Structure 1
Amino acid sequence: MKKTIFSLCLIIVFGSIVFYNQFGKTNNVQVSIEESIKFSEEEINEAVVAVKKKIKDFKGCKLTDLWYSENKSNEFIDGYLKYGKGSSNGITEENVIVLLSNFEVNSRGGDGSLEPNSIYSDWNWILVRDNNSDNWRVDNWRVDDWGY
């Protein structure tokens, strides 16, 4: 009986570890925020929280670095508004922010679209809001785009 209970406990612990490792991790993320003339620190921190929530959908990934650089953000925003989803969704420049990140992918390769056992660097996250009094959103349709 003791062996059965012990074995059952081991299976539960092992299963929990495997299940937990399937989802994106955000513990020990190095966050860096440069000074901004466009956004308050609170607005940028809200965007950071939104990205941390979104990465949890990326199975087998661990977010290691997340940062805001106004110059880089502006470059991505320009392309997003001219050629990306921003060219057709009516979003204005003051309602778009881009954060950059590095993350690791485990041996399972996430959802199959990411290279297993790899590191993705300078991955961008484009977040939008309806107007400048709204909070940054984490819903899939509000984290509007991501990638390179």
Structure 2
Amino acid sequence: MKKHHTISLILLALLLAVGFTILTHNFPFPGKTSDDFSLITGSSQTYTPEEIQDAADAVLHYFKGFSGATMTKLQYVASSSEEDNWAEKDGMEQGIHFVSDFTTGDLPNKSSLNPNSTYQGWNWYVARSDDGHWKVVNHGQG
């Protein structure tokens, strides 16, 4: 009988650990794109449409961490060489600047975003070195 009791306690502890992990990592409600999401890439003298799409994918992947938020628009603004070479400040060679619009729903207490709000013109700075993978190096308003 002790063996069944021990197994039950272990299973209960495991279930509690999994539940806690889900709650603290925002797995139930990751950031997503809306049904009418638009990606506006425009044209670039520096990057191909595929490179811009890859950089946008890095932003969208990062956005999944914005629990309870829904992105409606992501727009290419410029490359770091077209604005200034801000990517070098982050130790990278190439960079792309995007802006996005998104809304938030009910958010977890630890979120730095306001619940049930609309954010417009949220900046995303994505950079890479030596034609490597794009990485979000900075983001925010203003």
> Scaled by the length of structure 1, what TM-score is found?
0.67
> Scaled by the length of structure 2, what TM-score is found?
0.69
Shift of 1:115: 0.8
Number of the residue aligned with 2:126: 127
Q: Which amino acid aligns with 2:47?
A: F
- The structure where helix makes up a greater share of residues is 1
**Which structure is larger by alpha-carbon Rg, 1 or 2?**
2
Is the 8 Å Cα contact of residues 79 and 97 (structure 2) preserved in structure 1? no
Is 1:147 matched with 2:113?
A: no
1:89-122 Cα shifts (integer Å, max 9, x gaps): 4323xx1111110010112268420011111111
**Selected match of 1:26 from 2, 26, 33:** 33
Q: Which amino acid aligns with 2:60?
A: K
Unaligned runs of 5+ in 1: 1-18, 137-141
Unaligned runs of 5+ in 2: 1-26
Tell me the SS of whatever aligns to 1:26: strand
Rounded Cα–Cα distance in structure 1 between residues aligned with 2:65 and 2:136: 12
Is the 8 Å Cα contact of residues 98 and 125 (structure 2) preserved in structure 1? yes
Q: Which amino acid aligns with 1:134?
A: G
Rounded Cα–Cα distance in structure 2 between residues aligned with 1:70 and 1:90: 18
- The structure where strand makes up a greater share of residues is 2
* 1:73 to 1:54, Cα distance in 2 relative to 1, 3 A: farther
1:1-148 mapped onto 2 (5 Å cutoff): 20=28, 22-28=29-35, 29-70=37-78, 74-75=82-83, 78=84, 80=86, 86-87=88-89, 89-92=90-93, 95-108=94-107, 111-131=110-130, 133-136=131-134, 142-148=135-141
Rounded Cα–Cα distance in structure 2 between residues aligned with 1:59 and 1:121: 17
Shift of 1:135: 3.2
1:114-138 Cα shifts (integer Å, max 9, x gaps): 011111111011111112x2232xx
Query: Could you say what the CA RMSD is over the residues aligned between the two structures, in angstroms?
Result: 2.7
Larger RCO (alpha carbons 8 Å, 6+ apart): 1
Tell me the SS of whatever aligns to 1:35: coil
> How many residue pairs align between the two structures?
115
